[in-house]
Amino acid sequence: MPTQRKIETVADLKQRLERMQVAVVADYRGLSVADMTDLRKKLRESGAEFVVAKNTLTRIAARETGHEAIEPLLEGPTALAFAYDDVPKFVRAINEFNRGPKKITVRGGLLGTTLLKENVLDVVATLPTKDEVRAQVLGGLAAPVTGLAGIIAAPVNDIVNLLDATSKSILYALQARVDQLQPSSTS
């Protein structure tokens, strides 16, 4: 008979699996509580979560949500990291943690319901984050506007230059006429 706690754990895992864009399965052996806390903090900053769960309960949740592809990865001590929003930022957070003295061993993961091999995550880490994509899009949108402003300003500048040149020409012509009409002082 399943206990209430196990039922709640399965429900929690199901909810996470249904919400996630990417889930990473890792072996956390060798990590201290402080290391796990540090990893959780880094992942939380990237909008992700890190949980340790029993393989049996994870299998049940995966089957009930259509994520059976994760089952081959559920061997030995298992931790799951769930990314809900910015996947490249999430993978970079894991890679950043793994550059330190303690590492987690990534076994693979899920992208939706598709099984990912460990090396695919390295490719995902090279993708731009949401903020970087937004900056690129805004830069792309701003460039034509800047060009348009230059095009619009050019005729105005030309008119100003024309009027300036015309007014100077008129002044020179008037000055020349005034000089002609004035009696010369030598006469």
- E strand intervals along the chain: 22-27, 48-52, 79-83, 105-111, 114-117
Query: Residue 46: what pLDDT?
Result: 87
The Cα 66–Cα 52 span in angstroms is 20
pLDDT digit string (tens) for 130-160?
676 667 666 666 666 666 566 666 666 666 6
**Cβ atoms within 10 Å of 26's Cβ, excluding its own:** 25
More confident residue, 2 or 83: 83
Residue 102's pLDDT is what? 81
Pairing of strands 79-83, 105-111: unpaired
| Top-tier CATH class for 4-127 | alpha beta
pLDDT of residue 15: 95
| pLDDT digit string, tens, across residues 21-71 | 889 999 989 889 999 999 999 899 988 999 999 999 999 999 999 999 999
pTM recorded for the entire structure: 0.64
Residues with Cβ within 8 Å of 169's Cβ and at least 6 positions away in sequence, in order, are none
Q: What is the pLDDT of residues 97-115, one digit of tens each?
A: 888 888 888 898 888 888 8
